[in-house]
Amino acid sequence: MNILVLGGGGREHALCWKLAQSAAIAEDGGTLYAAPGNPGIAECALLVSLDAGDHDAVTAFCRERAIGLVVIGPEAPLVDGLADSLRSASIAVFGPSRDAAQLEGSKNFTKGLCDRAGIPTAGYVHCASLEQAKQALSTFSPPFVLKADGLAAGKGVVIAENEDHAIEALADMFGGAFGDAGAEVVIEEFMEGEEVSLFALTDGESVIPFGTAQDHKRVGEGDTGPNTGGMGAYSPARVLTEALLAESMERIVFPTVRQMHKEGTPYVGVLYAGLMLTSEGPKLVEYNCRFGDPECQVLMMRLESDLAQYMLAASAGTLAALPEPSFAEDTAMTVVMAADGYPGTPKKGGTIDLDGAEREGVKVFHAGTKLADGALVANGGRVLNVTATGPSTKAAQHAAYAAVAKIDFPTGFYRTDIGWREIEREG
Ligand code: AMP
Ligand code: GLY
């Protein structure tokens, strides 16, 4: 079978690396295509130039190359309805419809769904104007959690320490700092606790847990400084114990999938639940309608099952027929090497030498790279995801940083403490 992966970051590199090992590609003579891909992805897939925003062009390509499955990596094409266009052309897709992708595309949609299905999450008020938002602030106490309603590339959440700061941030949101995404705002109660990411695959009815991870969203050591797309992650996140995992599935993920089905917008694909482990139990922080980046990289390092088989079953509605997926017991860790300036304006074009970094159990996924005159250079904020496995989080960390030390990327930087919470617990 031929498979097409859309996207060109570290998440898509990890997905392509794993899909290339699937029987559909590795044994049955299928071709793995990626658009636009990147130089790392080019090592395991055939790169093609396709605009994910041009649904007719993607559909025509799929017909011409007899694509048996399209995997949509990032959220924007999902929220834009690419999966709907492909499904209406009878092309199998891993990823939710436009309506179902509202779980990531609209904070207010998700809050409303939590209300309707009784899912534990932070209390909130939805505001359609700055005046309304200012009034609503008085019903919360600091720190204030302010969220632009729509997609804002991970930058639409502000945690304001005091009321002045909150009003300033609200004025920015309603003033268009996040474009249309900020035309409506959700103000939330602040939840205390540790964050963890839980992944589940679903075909709209059946749901299977698909691994846990912990991301490190702040740019600085010890989780300080501005938010980023994620500076590193490890899996599994053992802080989500068996009991807490079961509780999160029962109280959050299953009711979500059931409610989406009941409302006529069944969710197909991977559901990424960002959870807060509060003193009152796990609560939903947010949903994403795709794999996490860089969480996907650590999940794929541990996945032993055939990824294409699970994605196909999710798209075909036959997930119930598959056994639980198998993940290695080992911990996987990924360290993000970012370009100087990130998460502001990253310095592009810096040279990268990866020679000698990869070995058994160590994989360098490309997140933002390109070839310039045959040489690898930085081409984005997050540039490399240096990923390694080990029998403990400490061992995985040791292996990941040993690989980082072998990489020559003078205009890059990275956090040196990925996994610190879990390593403290391991003792
Ligand atoms: P989101 O984009 O909704 O995941 O929010 C980005 C980050 O803001 C989350 O990963 C949390 O660290 C933080 N955050 C969001 N909502 C809350 C909340 N209600 N209470 C505490 N922290 C939050
Ligand atoms: N790493 C966070 C995200 O993918 O949204």
What is residue 95's DSSP assignment?
A: S
Considering only 95-109, 134-148, 408-422, which range has the smallest mean pLDDT?
Answer: 134-148
- Residues near ligand 2 with C-beta < 6 Å? 154, 215, 229-230, 288, 292-293, 295
Q: Which atom of ligand 2 is nearest to the CA of 295?
A: 1
204 pLDDT higher than 70: yes
422 pLDDT higher than 70: yes
Q: pLDDT (tens digit, 9 = 90+) per residue, 345-357?
A: 999 999 999 999 9
Q: Tally the residues of the chain.
A: 427
CA 111 to ligand 1 centroid distance, Å: 13
Q: pLDDT (tens digit, 9 = 90+) per residue, 207-233?
A: 999 999 999 999 999 999 988 999 999
CA 388 to ligand 1 centroid distance, Å: 28
Predicted confidence at residue 37, as pLDDT, reads 98
Q: Which atom of ligand 2 is nearest to the CA of 292?
A: 4
Does ligand 1 have an atom closer than 6 angstroms to the CB of 50? no
Q: What are phi and psi of 395, to 5 degrees?
A: -70, -40
Interacting residues of 191 by C-beta distance below 8 A, sequence separation 6+:
122, 276, 278, 283, 285
CA 419 to ligand 1 centroid distance, Å: 19
CA 64 to ligand 2 centroid distance, Å: 33
CA 292 to ligand 2 centroid distance, Å: 4
Residue 386's pLDDT band, with cuts at 50, 70 and 90, is very high
CA-based nearest residue to 279, from 169, 426, 147, 120: 120
CB atoms within 10 A of CB 250: 10
Residue 159: nearest ligand to its CA? 1
Residue 39's pLDDT band, with cuts at 50, 70 and 90, is very high
Predicted confidence at residue 163, as pLDDT, reads 87
CA 350 to ligand 2 centroid distance, Å: 25
Q: pTM to 2 decimals?
A: 0.96
Q: Using alpha carbons only, what angle is made at residue 375 by residues 369 and 379, rounded to the nearest 5 degrees?
A: 20
CA 259 to ligand 2 centroid distance, Å: 24
Predicted confidence at residue 335, as pLDDT, reads 98
| DSSP H/E element including 116 | helix 107-117
Cα–Cα distance list, 303 to 287, 292, 401, 419, 426 (Å): 22, 15, 22, 20, 23
Does ligand 1 have an atom closer than 6 angstroms to the CB of 122? yes
| CA dist., res. 51 & res. 70, Å (int) | 14
Segment 109-132 shows an average pLDDT of 93
Q: pLDDT (tens digit, 9 = 90+) per residue, 269-281?
A: 999 999 999 999 9
What is residue 61's DSSP assignment?
A: H
Does ligand 1 have an atom closer than 6 angstroms to the CB of 195? yes
Mean pLDDT across the chain: 95
* 365, 298 Cβ separation under 8 angstroms: no
Predicted confidence at residue 150, as pLDDT, reads 79
Residue 272: nearest ligand to its CA? 2
Dihedral sign for Cα 27, 29, 33, 38, please. Answer: positive
Q: Which atom of ligand 2 is nearest to the CA of 291?
A: 4
Predicted confidence at residue 207, as pLDDT, reads 98
**CA 94 to chain centroid:** 15
115 pLDDT higher than 90: yes
* 205, 316 Cβ separation under 8 angstroms: no
Q: Hey, what long-range contacts does 259-265 have (CB within 8 A, 24 or more apart)?
A: 259/113, 259/116, 259/117, 260/100, 260/103, 260/113, 260/204, 261/204, 261/205, 265/97, 265/99, 265/100, 265/102
Where are the alpha helices (H) located in 128-234, listed in sequence order? 130-137, 163-174
Which of 159, 186, 214, 275 is the best mutation target for the ligand 1 pocket, counting ligand atoms within 8 Å of the beta carbon and taking the most? 159
Residue 154's pLDDT band, with cuts at 50, 70 and 90, is low
List the structure tokens of 408.
């020559």
Cα–Cα distance list, 133 to 102, 146, 184, 383 (Å): 22, 10, 10, 37
Atom 11, ligand 1: residue with shortest CA distance: 285
Which of 293, 296, 415 is the best mutation target for the ligand 2 pocket, counting ligand atoms within 8 Å of the beta carbon and taking the most? 293
Does ligand 1 have an atom closer than 6 angstroms to the CB of 148? no
If DSSP codes are grouped into helix, strand and coil, which group holds residue 244? helix
Q: pLDDT (tens digit, 9 = 90+) per residue, 62-89?
A: 999 999 999 999 999 999 999 999 999 9
* 63, 38 Cβ separation under 8 angstroms: no
260 pLDDT higher than 70: yes
Does ligand 1 have an atom closer than 6 angstroms to the CB of 274? yes
CA 114 to ligand 1 centroid distance, Å: 16
Q: Which atom of ligand 1 is nearest to the CA of 274?
A: 4
